[in-house]
């Protein structure tokens, strides 16, 4: 595990993963719920925040629409648990 102080020594942004969502193919649905590109990063350069955050970014391609969430470790674990519950509920394994 990397030394936390090394992370905090400078502006760090590490890309973890990114992909398209699994959007329905129906064009009629695109206006209300457009497809999105999701990105998961690690960041320590968020103004006003002194520690590492998991950043989740949702982008609507072809627009300037973008939203970013900066999650503390406890919040990231809560999101992980919610996703695991959702997968279990639909009968999918949690890897």
Taking Cα atoms as reference points, which of 70, 12, 69 lies closest to residue 44? 12
Q: List pLDDT tens digits, range 36-84.
A: 899 999 998 667 777 889 999 999 888 889 999 999 999 999 999 999 9
Q: Structurally, how many domains does the chain consist of?
A: 1
Does residue 94 lie in a domain region? no
Could you report the per-residue pLDDT of 4-48, keeping only the tens digit for each?
Answer: 444 444 566 889 999 999 877 666 666 677 888 999 999 986 677
- Cβ atoms 38, 1 nearer than 8 A: no
Distance CA 84, CA 93 (A): 8
Task: Tell me, yes or no, if the pTM score tops 0.85.
Answer: no
The answer to the question of residue 49 being in a domain is yes
Residue 80 lies in a domain: yes
Angle at 90 between CA 68 and CA 27, to 5 degrees: 60
95 in a structural domain:
no
| Residue span of the structural domain in which 30 resides | 4-89
């Amino acid at each position: 595990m990397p030394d936390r102080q090394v992370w905090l020594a400078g502006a760090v942004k590490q890309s973890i993963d990114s992909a398209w969502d699994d959007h329905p193919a129906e064009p009629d649905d695109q206006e209300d719920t457009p497809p999105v590109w999701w990105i998961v990063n690690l960041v320590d350069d968020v103004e006003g925040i002194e520690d590492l955050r998991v950043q989740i970014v949702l982008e609507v391609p072809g627009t300037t629409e973008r939203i970013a969430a900066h999650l503390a470790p406890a919040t990231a674990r809560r999101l992980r648990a919610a996703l695991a519950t959702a997968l279990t509920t639909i009968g999918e394994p949690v890897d």
